[in-house]
Amino acid sequence: MSATAEFFAARDFLLAQRENYSRAYQDFRWPRLTHFNWALDVFDAQAAGNTRTALWLVDEDGGELKRSFDDMRRRSNQLANHLRAQGVKRGDALLLMLDNVVELWETLLAAIKLGAVVVPATTLLAAQDLPDRLQRGNIRHLVVGQAHTAKFDGLDPSLTRIAVGDAVPGWQTYDDAFGADERFTPDAPTRADEPLLLYFTSGTTSRPKLVVHTHQSYPLGSLSTLYWIGLRPDDVHYNISSPGWAKHAWSNVFAPWNAGCTIFVYRAARFSAAATLDVIARYGVTTLCAPPTVWRHLIQEDLASYRTRLRALVGAGEPLNPEVIERVRRAWNLEIRDGYGQTETTAQIGNPPGQPMRAGSMGRPLPGYRIALLDADGQERDEGEIAIRLDERPVGLMQEYRDDAARMRQVLDEGYYRTGDVARRDADGYYWYIGRADDVFKSSDYRISPFELESLLIEHEAVAEAAVVPAPDELRLNVPKAYLTLRQGFEPDRDTALSILRFAAARLAPYQRIRRLEFFELPKTISGKIRRVELRAHAATAAADPNSAQDEYRESDFPELRQPPGTP
């Protein structure tokens, strides 16, 4: 059987079992391919002569750009031929720094066809971030938006430089590609285990790791993501995500095009919840994926007033709080189905369509993934570090961390891949996120899960975002400290602090109580994840020198918390 036939057999099985989780999980098997080139064997196989819309870009001024599957096939062939003429060869690393423009998808398809290695880079990177990426990624070629070309001034002059947009001195022009032949012939078959993607992780606590994915690990491995989202060929799928990060490849490239559906993107200079909801309704988006930060903005609007065609909602990137899920359900009678994965993998755990939901649970293992929870001694328990069993290694797992053998030995341990995240499993097999292994902390010998406390805090009407970290304490070793961003209309003052502390104290066990809080603009990585390492350092400084945290409120500052509300 050809690679194309094997892929579509596996895909069609998951489409047929999209609401039959038991059968899908029990009977799905990854195709084990020797040679595989997703752009040629899958995309082009379904794109030839296909006039359905593959990519639909809408701008805030109402402008639209549509490309059919066949358009994308032909244009990526032309670009692949042009890049080859410019010296791009199999195995060469190409750094791709573009916003959500059609050239992003064309370049990715062309690079896959050539066997080049793509290094996605967010446009938020500064000039000082680039030398490390160029060196560690062994970059040979650049495809960069015209607005960002100056960031590369003074860097390696031997790099092939192609600018998208207006002409830039010293750079080739992207549009020169479209005089090339629309037929493409690869130089050789692509091995399934050849490197395809290099991702620099977001680095919330350490220097970014360089994750290597192959021609099968993300493209073929994204069948688990397709199953979790529940995509169908007739969907218009909108994933709110920025290029440069793994989630963009998950849900803005491989999962929707594996399903044969339309990728929809709304492009605006600044995010607006109201404008986003209007676009979703006006253009008939049917499936929506967004990170928790976006969902928290969306629920500030009157969701019920928007008449949409949405049939499926998912959330990923960070755990989704139950309060957000409930508010969306009340407005739209749809549940946001949470899921879990990493840059190093495709979707591992999730709530697929048609299955009973447990509010706050990230779901059950997805087809192709066998999950265990390991204690400190490496024994399987009902609570512990999330680990993937490797006796039947999932295709969606990365190949390696480049040039970091020590880290690979650490994560590939005794027949498991260790994720570094902690969860618990209930009697029905549902998994519940606790936190990063290095985020969970002890207070008075009790283990504290920041995620549980944060989920409770954002239920308060004043709280938009929350992050809980340990603050050193002489009596209890550590106490929970909450850093909070407030919703519009609420003041960061004593009354608000008292209201939040009182709200939390009424709903938490004594050992979990928030003992300190501070109104604070949460520091984030360029991918939007909270920089907890900075908050822990800030909390430690404030504990050592209380005068350094003038905006901190402590439980001990409120005598009224030691008596029932309303007591004089």
- Residue 451, pLDDT > 70, answer yes
Give, as one character, the DSSP assignment of residue 460. S
Considering the chain, what percentage of its residues have pLDDT values greater than 90? Answer: 78
- Residue 237, pLDDT > 90, answer yes
Instruction: For residue 568, name the pLDDT band (cuts at 50, 70, 90).
Output: very low
What does R_g of the chain's alpha carbons equal in angstroms? 24
pLDDT of 207 reads 66
pLDDT of 292 reads 84
- Residue 434, pLDDT > 90, answer no
- Residue 554, pLDDT > 60, answer yes
Instruction: For residue 563, name the pLDDT band (cuts at 50, 70, 90).
Output: low
Instruction: Give the tens place of pLDDT for each residue, 178-199.
Output: 999 999 999 999 999 999 999 9
On whether the CB atoms of residues 338 and 314 are closer than 8 A, the answer is: yes
Instruction: Give the tens place of pLDDT for each residue, 330-361.
Output: 999 999 999 999 999 999 999 999 999 988 89
Average pLDDT over residues 150-167: 96
Average pLDDT over residues 115-141: 94
On whether the CB atoms of residues 228 and 19 are closer than 8 A, the answer is: no
Block residue for tokens 């750009």? 65
pLDDT of 565 reads 46
- Residue 452, pLDDT > 90, answer no
pLDDT of 215 reads 98
Helix axes 494-505, 450-457, angle to 10 degrees: 120
What is the distance between the alpha carbons of residues 439 and 499, in angstroms, rounded to a whole number? 26
Average pLDDT over residues 409-422: 91
3-class DSSP state for residue 296? helix
Closest CA to 153 of 137, 173, 130, 135: 130
What is the distance between the alpha carbons of residues 125 and 526, in angstroms, rounded to a whole number? 8
Instruction: For residue 202, name the pLDDT band (cuts at 50, 70, 90).
Output: low
Give, as one character, the DSSP assignment of residue 259. H
Give, as one character, the DSSP assignment of residue 115. T
28 token code pair: 């799905």
pLDDT of 444 reads 77
pLDDT of 163 reads 98
Q: The whole model's pTM is what?
A: 0.84
Instruction: For residue 203, name the pLDDT band (cuts at 50, 70, 90).
Output: low
Instruction: For residue 567, name the pLDDT band (cuts at 50, 70, 90).
Output: very low
Instruction: For residue 291, name the pLDDT band (cuts at 50, 70, 90).
Output: confident
On whether the CB atoms of residues 42 and 258 are closer than 8 A, the answer is: yes
Phi, psi of 185, rounded to the nearest 5 degrees: -125, 120
Mean pLDDT of the chain: 93
Instruction: Give the tens place of pLDDT for each residue, 308-321.
Output: 999 999 998 777 77
Average pLDDT over residues 506-533: 87
Lowest mean pLDDT among 443-447, 506-510, 522-526, 548-552: 443-447
pLDDT of 205 reads 47
Lowest mean pLDDT among 402-416, 479-493, 521-535: 521-535
- Residue 323, pLDDT > 90, answer no
What is the distance between the alpha carbons of residues 151 and 517, in angstroms, rounded to a whole number? 39
- Residue 401, pLDDT > 90, answer yes
- Residue 204, pLDDT > 50, answer no
Instruction: Give the tens place of pLDDT for each residue, 469-478.
Output: 999 988 788 8
What is the distance between the alpha carbons of residues 533 and 400, in angstroms, rounded to a whole number? 25
Instruction: For residue 234, name the pLDDT band (cuts at 50, 70, 90).
Output: very high
- Residue 85, pLDDT > 70, answer yes
184 token code pair: 């493409």
